[in-house]
Amino acid sequence: MSRLRDNINGSSKNFRKMLGNSFITIPGVYSGISALIAERVGFRSIYLSGSGIAGMMGLPDLSITTLDEVVREAGNITSISRLPLIVDCDTGFGEPLNVMRTVRLMERAGVAAIHIEDQELPKKCGHLNGKKIVPAEDFIAKIRAAKEASKDPNFSLIARTDARSVGGLDDAIERSREYLKAGADIIFTEALENPEEFKEMRKKVNGYLMANMTEFGKSPLLSVDELKEIGYDMVIFPLTAFRSILKNTEQIYSDLYKQGTQRNFIDKLMTRSQYYELIGYSEYEDEDYLLASRKNK
């Protein structure tokens, strides 16, 4: 079967099936190839990080990437991996009308779920100081617009609240409840500061909850087991692989620059055959009708 897959009409349904049935652990991916690695390792769902997309372009996570760029990357990934993809849509790329278009394009790209957040533009990483949030009513208008625009009954809308770092935990709890009432399917509780806050959220919010275990931020690095125990439904590890790519790339470039050869660290590289196997090189060749017709002559 072809590696060029058609994810449309399937992945959102698969994601829905997982919701509430078992805890979902979701690593950040940045490209088709990282999605293939996540799939091979055994993950059942993947996350396209806004910071990761921007970072891959050498840009900061200040919502300066465009809807077009993010949809294109999402579509690249869904054409390669069948795993349900969740996409970070920042503030939805604008006001409610923009959010509607965002939902339509993401659904067409075969995305299972998106998250939008209640920050003002220019948004920031949720774990930095100095964020500003919009009034709850304004964000509720975006949630309603997103639900109105959605045509795929299995598409999930994740509402992220950044309120913990601005108005405090009670505001984050209150907003989470209102966002669920407005139609959000899942709440992304950004930048909680200790396990007790995660427990409090769980106790007071009656809906699916997503945790963000990004490194070097405001939240303690709770494990999957700890989050399960608290009663969360899913967790993203948005930048774990990305940060490792950065560190490894820096090391490799520096060794290559100093040594002028890769002979001393060749064992750190994925071999040609391992890479071809991962990417399904021979499967593409087997499917190449032109090659096949020439062989048969």
Active site annotation includes 117:
yes
User: What are φ and ψ of residue 234, in 5° steps?
Assistant: -160, 165
Residues that bind Mg ion (CB under 5 A): 50-51, 88
List, in sequence order, the alpha helices (H) in the chain: 11-18, 32-41, 50-56, 67-78, 96-108, 136-149, 169-181, 195-204, 224-230, 240-259, 272-279, 281-287, 289-295
Residue 233 touches ligand MIC, criterion: CB under 6 A: no
Q: How far is the CB of 245 from Mg ion (least distance, A)?
A: 17
Cβ neighbours for 94, distance < 8 A, ≥ 6 positions apart: 102
Given the residues 61, 107, 118, 185, the one annotated as active site: 61
Quick check: 55 and 62 in contact, CB under 8 A? Answer: no
Which residues in 203-215 are b (16+ Cβ under 10 Å) and which e?
eebeebbbbbbbe
- For the bound state, the minimum distance from the C-beta of residue 230 to Mg ion, rounded and expressed in Å, comes to 23
Helix (H) or strand (E) holding 119: none
125 near ligand MIC, judged by CB under 6 A: yes
Report the nearest approach of Mg ion to the CB of residue 98 (Å). Answer: 17
Paired tokens of 285: 């060749």
90 is catalytic: yes
User: Alpha-carbon distance 103 to 101, whole Å?
Assistant: 5
Q: Please identify, using beta-carbon distances, which residue of 84 and 126 lies nearer to ligand MIC.
A: 126
Among residues 73, 125, 162, 175, which one is catalytic? 125
Catalytic residue among 7, 30, 47, 164: 47
CA distance 113 to 104: 12
Half-sphere exposure in the Cβ direction for 185 (13 Å, CA): 20
Q: Which of 219, 167, 233 is nearest to 190 (CA)?
A: 219
Does residue 175 have an active-site annotation? no
Residue among 51 and 81 whose Cβ is closer to Mg ion: 51
- Of Mg ion, ligand MIC, none, which one does residue 149 interact with (CB within 5 to 8 Å by kind)? none
Nearest Cα residue to 135 out of 102, 184, 178: 178
* Catalytic residue of the set 73, 117, 162, 185: 117
92 binding partner (options Mg ion, ligand MIC, none; Cβ < 5 to 8 Å by kind): none
Q: Which is nearer to ligand MIC, 51 or 154 (CB)?
A: 51
61 catalytically annotated: yes
Residue 65 makes contact with ligand MIC by CB under 6 A: no
Region of 101-109, 121-129, 250-258, 265-273 interacting with ligand MIC (CB under 6 A): 121-129
Q: Which of 115, 164, 175, 185 is catalytic?
A: 115
Among Mg ion, ligand MIC, none, the one that 118 touches (CB under a kind-dependent 5 to 8 A) is: none
239 scored as a contact of ligand MIC (CB under 6 A): yes
| The two three-digit tokens of residue 23, written as one number | 């805890």
Question: How far, in whole angstroms, is CA 199 from its chain's centroid?
Answer: 23
Contact code string over 33-52 relative to ligand MIC, x by CB under 6 A: ----------------xxxx
Catalytic residue ranges: 47, 61, 88, 90, 115, 117, 125, 160, 190, 212
Which chain residues interact with ligand MIC by CB under 6 A? 49-52, 61, 88, 125-127, 212, 214, 217, 238-239
